[in-house]
Chains A and B, each alone.
Chain A
């Protein structure tokens, strides 16, 4: 299947490497195109294009507590993590459990580029051009058994190369979970690259989850295990402080974090004088609203 969802903006699909290093150039190019092709230009304008962050921004401002709690720690400290070879175990309520090499895991998946908004619970955001495949395809291949209701994920634990793990700033392994219908949603991506390049270690190499309508910490990095279960799995931040981090953690401007407002956010890359922008319900992906019909999102936040 795959390709169930399409970008509203795909400029960098056709943007050669070298140019995406400088997004100003990309935009300048787009404006040129728009001016040249009357109708096409109009269409582009109507789509309110997302402007992807530069690779430098995406790779230098990260949360990855395995490598430290500072935003620059992951870039500084993740260099020694070896991600090739890499194995992922798929177990629990599946017909085809096992431990697979990354190559085997992704060999028959359909790779796509998805330009998504990425909203951190700390009220900052980016736009990231991911490369990856739909989790739904992987789950179909694994053969989800009837009765399974949730998917649990686990990050690698490598104390030798992860200073944050050695310091035990939080409990490791980092774990996350989704309800099965969330996991099967076409927006839910397993990413292996950004801008057509393999993921940098600080971005969760070699394979990570991307759930664009949820706060970034749900999009667990450097995955080594995927488990199908019939109960709501443990999720690291929810476990640390359930009052501050709900299991769902859908981006919601109306439900504040107890220590800061979620009504607005700051786009990374705007510099010192960029102003805040309003945070969008479900991070601007209203197509997921039906997953939560009948739920009170201020209770199940």
Chain B
């Protein structure tokens, strides 16, 4: 089963994923503009794209544990997932700036500083910029593998901030965003599992 998926994945070029992941964006805009997202399409679209951003970040985090524990190798798609996660967050932010806030810049400026959930979202977005910019072979070569990997560890705090932002957007404590945060924390946790194992076995 895993082998067949690995074999199939080997045949699919990564650019296919870019195409597949970009398609929901025009579809959702179309749906929002034509009544498919209810009578308050701006907030619905903003939330839908926001949630997809977080899902993509989580998929990106999943790649390593999938390989480590299930021997499922989807590494070649990770860059596409990461870059598209950034695109979704940028669209999410764009919706906020243009459609939600109607370009009221002074109100936005104060919101960014005064409202923790916007501040947190904004920090996460800004932190994603260097990752998106260095998501190409040239940058990996220029930075060197070690420095590049170190930089891209930023994705962990970004994922936590994204999930916390989701929790804070709600008016009450809702289950769904907590599940997202739990998943993010669990995925970060998987990084330390073998280390602990190794440490335990050496210390005994």
A56 adjacent to B174 (CB under 8 Å): no
Question: A269: nearest residue on chain B (CB-CB)?
Answer: B39
B111 adjacent to A276 (CB under 8 Å): no
Measured in the bound complex, the distance between the Cα atoms of B36 and A272 in whole Å is 11
Question: A244: nearest residue on chain B (CB-CB)?
Answer: B171
Q: Does A12 reach chain B (CB closer than 8 Å)?
A: no
**Residues in A whose Cβ lies below 8 Å from that of B130:** none
B38 adjacent to A271 (CB under 8 Å): no
11 A-B contact pairs sorted by A residue (CB < 8 Å) = A61-B39, A69-B171, A69-B174, A124-B40, A258-B115, A259-B115, A259-B117, A264-B107, A271-B33, A272-B42, A273-B99
**Within the complex, which residue of B100, B116, B172 is in contact with A240, where a contact is CB–CB below 8 Å?**
B172
Q: Does B168 reach chain A (CB closer than 8 Å)?
A: yes
Measured in the bound complex, the distance between the Cα atoms of B100 and A263 in whole Å is 13
B172 adjacent to A276 (CB under 8 Å): no
Question: B41: nearest residue on chain A (CB-CB)?
Answer: A272
Q: Does A185 reach chain B (CB closer than 8 Å)?
A: no
Q: Given A69-B170, A269-B39, A276-B101, 14 other A-B contacts at CB below 8 A?
A: A60-B38, A60-B39, A65-B172, A69-B171, A71-B38, A124-B40, A169-B174, A258-B115, A261-B107, A263-B107, A264-B102, A266-B100, A268-B39, A273-B33
Q: Does B104 reach chain A (CB closer than 8 Å)?
A: yes
Q: Does A57 reach chain B (CB closer than 8 Å)?
A: yes
Contact residues of B between 27 and 42, Cβ < 8 Å to A: 29, 32-33, 38-42
**Residues in A whose Cβ lies below 8 Å from that of B40:** 61, 71, 124, 266, 268
A256 adjacent to B114 (CB under 8 Å): yes
Q: How many whole Å from A66's CB to the nearest CB in chain B?
A: 13
- Give A146-178 as 1s and 0s: 1 = Cβ < 8 Å from B's Cβ atoms: 000000000000000000000001100000000
Size bracket of the B interface:
20 to 34
- Give B98-128 as 1s and 0s: 1 = Cβ < 8 Å from A's Cβ atoms: 0111101001001100111100000000000
| B positions within 8 Å CB-CB of A | 29, 32-33, 38-43, 45, 99-102, 104, 107, 110-111, 114-117, 168, 170-172, 174
**Residues in A whose Cβ lies below 8 Å from that of B174:** 69, 169
**Residues in B whose Cβ lies below 8 Å from that of A57:** 39
- Give A169-200 as 1s and 0s: 1 = Cβ < 8 Å from B's Cβ atoms: 11000000000000000000000000000000
- With A124-B40, A272-B32, A272-B41 already in contact, the answer to whether A259 and B107 are too (CB < 8 A) is no
Contact residues of A between 69 and 119, Cβ < 8 Å to B: 69, 71-72
B45 adjacent to A272 (CB under 8 Å): yes
Q: How many whole Å from A27's CB to the nearest CB in chain B?
A: 18
Size bracket of the A interface:
20 to 34
**Residues in A whose Cβ lies below 8 Å from that of B104:** 264, 276
- With A170-B172, A260-B111 already in contact, the answer to whether A272 and B33 are too (CB < 8 A) is yes
Q: Does A290 reach chain B (CB closer than 8 Å)?
A: no
Measured in the bound complex, the distance between the Cα atoms of B134 and A55 in whole Å is 51
Measured in the bound complex, the distance between the Cα atoms of B100 and A271 in whole Å is 11
A169 adjacent to B116 (CB under 8 Å): no
Measured in the bound complex, the distance between the Cα atoms of B171 and A72 in whole Å is 16
A-B pairs with lowest CB-CB distance, top 7:
A275-B102, A276-B102, A57-B39, A272-B33, A272-B41, A61-B39, A272-B32
A272 adjacent to B38 (CB under 8 Å): no
A260 adjacent to B115 (CB under 8 Å): yes
Contact residues of A between 194 and 233, Cβ < 8 Å to B: none
Contact residues of A between 249 and 301, Cβ < 8 Å to B: 256, 258-261, 263-264, 266, 268-269, 271-276
A169 adjacent to B172 (CB under 8 Å): yes
Question: B44: nearest residue on chain A (CB-CB)?
Answer: A71
B172 adjacent to A56 (CB under 8 Å): no
Question: A59: nearest residue on chain B (CB-CB)?
Answer: B39
**Residues in B whose Cβ lies below 8 Å from that of A256:** 114
B172 adjacent to A261 (CB under 8 Å): no
**Residues in B whose Cβ lies below 8 Å from that of A258:** 115
Measured in the bound complex, the distance between the Cα atoms of B29 and A273 in whole Å is 11
**Residues in A whose Cβ lies below 8 Å from that of B107:** 261, 263-264
Measured in the bound complex, the distance between the Cα atoms of B98 and A275 in whole Å is 9
**Residues in B whose Cβ lies below 8 Å from that of A71:** 38, 40
Q: How many whole Å from B31's CB to the nearest CB in chain A?
A: 10
